[in-house]
Amino acid sequence: MPKSLIIANWKCNPSTLAQAKALFAKINQGVARQKKSKIVVCPPPVFLGFFTQKPGKIFLGAQDAFWQEGPFTGESSFNMLKSIGCKYAIVGHSERRKRGESDKEVNNKIKAALSVGIAPVLCVGETFTERENQKTPIVLRKQIQEGLTGVAKGRVGEVIIAYEPVWAIGTGNPCRPEEAMSMKIFIKKFLSQNYGKNISSKTKVLYGGSAKAANAGEYVIEAGMDGLLVGGASLKAKEFLEILKKI
Ligand code: PGA
């Protein structure tokens, strides 16, 4: 049985380096003996470089990165991330898409991540209105298709897809596990039709959106999601470690 992939997305938290180090240390200590999951922590970019030493069981991930280097004030490149030991990068999170990130930019980032050997975590998901208007399949198809444009077929399976319904993120109103499962099936079918069965079965599909200890088992064990992308609940070490125990 492959390990579940559990990714902690700290977003723009916590406020200080001391708090970030304390949170990381508690998680690191807590995961020392667990074997069922692969754990990735994505701290804010300014703290990333502090966690490169002996990460132990925790893999380091970025919340975003830029696809080029040079005169791009404020950005960090995938190469830079790689040089400090980052193995994963979230790409196209809805909180970035909401502020203008396009599918084209997401696509550039995915290609740049793959080119240096960082596994991109492509976030896809519909808004509440899109859902109400039965637009979910159209939205997902577009985000995946455009996100993967130009990616060599043989490498598509390295892209991790996180189904994150926008209306469920940070709301405490998670998507029903059956619904997440049907989205995973939809995504796999789409990949199978476009890239072949092999790629489809290789691709991990995670769930994200108000995931916590109380529902983690429903997504991973019952609904068969390949893992979770956890925001709010990853900021409390106890709750995050509890998630790992439930799956
Ligand atoms: P949440 O965030 O767990 O706080 O809903 C998930 C995410 O945005 O990845």
Range 84-93 burial, b when 16+ CB lie within 10 A, else e: eebbbbbbbb
Give the mean model confidence (pLDDT) for residues 52-78. 91
Give the mean model confidence (pLDDT) for residues 124-150. 98
Kindly state if the Cβ of 4 falls inside 6 Å of ligand 1. Answer: no
Return the bridge partners of 62, or none.
Answer: 89
Average pLDDT of the chain is: 96
Q: Are 40 and 61 in contact (CB under 8 A)?
A: yes
Kindly state if the Cβ of 42 falls inside 6 Å of ligand 1. Answer: no
CA angle at residue 60 from 23 to 79, to 5 degrees? 140
Which residue is closest in CA terms to ligand 1's atom 3?
Answer: 231
pLDDT for 19: 98
When pLDDT is cut at 50, 70 and 90, the band that residue 190 belongs to is very high
Kindly state if the Cβ of 208 falls inside 6 Å of ligand 1. Answer: yes
Which residue is listed with tokens 């991973």? 220
pLDDT for 57: 85
Kindly state if the Cβ of 231 falls inside 6 Å of ligand 1. Answer: yes
**Does residue 33 register a pLDDT over 90?**
no
pLDDT for 168: 97
Q: Are 48 and 40 in contact (CB under 8 A)?
A: no
Both tokens of 199, joined, read 């790629």
Q: Are 41 and 11 in contact (CB under 8 A)?
A: no
pLDDT for 35: 85
Which residue is closest in CA terms to ligand 1's atom 6?
Answer: 231
Q: Spot the catalytic one: 126, 158, 164, 218.
A: 164
From CA 43, how far away is CA 11, in angstroms rounded? 7
Query: In ligand 1, which atom is closest to the CA atom of 95?
Result: 8
Cα(171) to centroid(ligand 1), Å = 9
Which residue is closest in CA terms to ligand 1's atom 7?
Answer: 231
27 Cβ contact partners less than 8 Å away, ≥ 6 residues apart = 8, 39, 41, 58, 237, 240, 241
> Is 239 annotated in the active site?
no
> Is 93 annotated in the active site?
yes
**Does residue 55 register a pLDDT over 70?**
no
